[in-house]
Structure 1
Amino acid sequence: MTKPTWDPGQYLRHAGHRARPFTDLLARIPDLPGTRPRIADLGCGPGNVTALLAERWPTAHITGYDNSPDMLDRAHVDHEGPTSGGGRLDFAHADVRTWTPGEPYDLIVSNATLHWVPGHADRFADWIDALEPGGTFAFQVPDNIDAPLHALMRELAATPRWKTRLADVLRHEDSVHAPGVYLDRLARLGCATDVWQTTYFHVLRGEDPVLDWVKGTGLRPALTVLADDPEARDAFVAEYRDLLRQAYPSQEYGTVLPFRRLFAVARKEG
């Protein structure tokens, strides 16, 4: 899988829909042990959902970590600074594949990031070790790699015209584990664990809205590889757009995008 370049503006075009799963995750996170909690947000992107943590815990010191300079630039400008309760929100460069906590945390959270990290479940032990007693590790990831949105992209990338350049750059079926795998892994690490799935039915509007959605996320590896060949990039996007129009037909009220996500909340025993 190719490491994608990110476009904060494109990503934020569907910010409301993308933030909703995080608010649902946030609602299931229990109270934290510290009065001035230390919180890490892994894969913070442009910081728009990291800011929601400051609303829930205004006294906390919250650091959002990401490896995209463009995303971090947007986060610094839009969200960094003191919070309403005397806490602080800041951002720093880090790669989730190698990030190791340098201090104890009350909460380590990750929103729509771990599916980009091969072997992410192998990092759980290090992260939970860094939690204070009673602290929480929580994450949500898209769990729809078998949906037409992704299946059609992979099928197109594997056709004779594109397979040389694209067949091995996209996410594959093993990028997210089954819910029971996460439950077992986290429970064996000594955590009281809650794992669940939710399918959202997003009603998107505008011209080719499903394509517009995926340009901000799942299509990024292909766009990155083809960035130096605009003609090929546009041709691939046009072919993919036509497939999406058939798979997600427009209705008079908009285009429905079913989107399943997986959630986990693991509280370290005190």
Structure 2
Amino acid sequence: MPRLHLHLVSDSTGETLEMFAKAALAQFEDADVVRHFWPMVRSRQHLDRIMPTLEEKAGLVLFTLINPQTRARLEERCRESGLTAVPVLDQVTAALEAKLGLEAQQSKPGRQHIMDKAYFDRVEAIQFTIAHDDGISHEDWEEADILLAGVSRSSKTPTSIYLANRGYKVANIPLVVESPPPEKLYQLKNPLIVGLTSTPERLVQIRRNRLLALNEKNETAYADQDRVREEVVFARRIFADRGWPIIDVTRRSIEETAAAIIKLYNERDLVQATSPGGAA
């Protein structure tokens, strides 16, 4: 299979473009793709500096450029070099213009990063989540939107951080057989509590890799198959007894796990809003 050089050219941070490319590439698991990231390209001079690399490592160019002169220059240079250049947001923007009857405001690159209330809410969510990782500060758990529980290495922390970047205040707690969680966990009213689990085999693999990364070569109970199986049973029993939703992360990416949690969160809000005594 030939190697493809994929160039991502943006006049802002490139976050939107990178997410788009990642989602599209997920459909091609065996593809040999080398990504080249070119953020903050806001002038013809900057564009002209990177064009030799685009031409040398010819492939596919995906771009989000607002400035019409910079965009025209990129499209012209790509045509001259025989490069395929795709403006990834054009069709979506055009469809929105047609349905809304409005013209897109394309004067400022990075408009999605304006520091509005949503931005500061997201920063607050990230700060809260970092401060409540791994069972810390359980006295504040009632302030969380979501609480994730699970055994060690069940993706609690990365999932929490991902959700925080989406604006959710998240706490997480490791479930340890020898150390029962604080009673506070069972008294929470506000947070959606979700149990994360995985197969013992997958957990053992991850934990052994973790120990190797720490230069720990001795066998420990931490990565013992029977011991890990006991932990998983212990955690699942807690989830079942409390009626908490469970998500098996064995074959899920962090993004897929987070999407499932957000779906549960939204469904709970909908039920609460339409139930007697809720907001109709």
Q: Same fold (TM over 0.5)?
A: no
Q: Which has the higher helix share?
A: 2
Give the TM-score normalised by structure 2.
0.29
TM-score, normalization by structure 1: 0.30
Bigger strand share: 1
Larger Cα Rg: Structure 1 or Structure 2? 2
Q: Which has the higher contact order (CA 8 A, sep 6+)?
A: 1
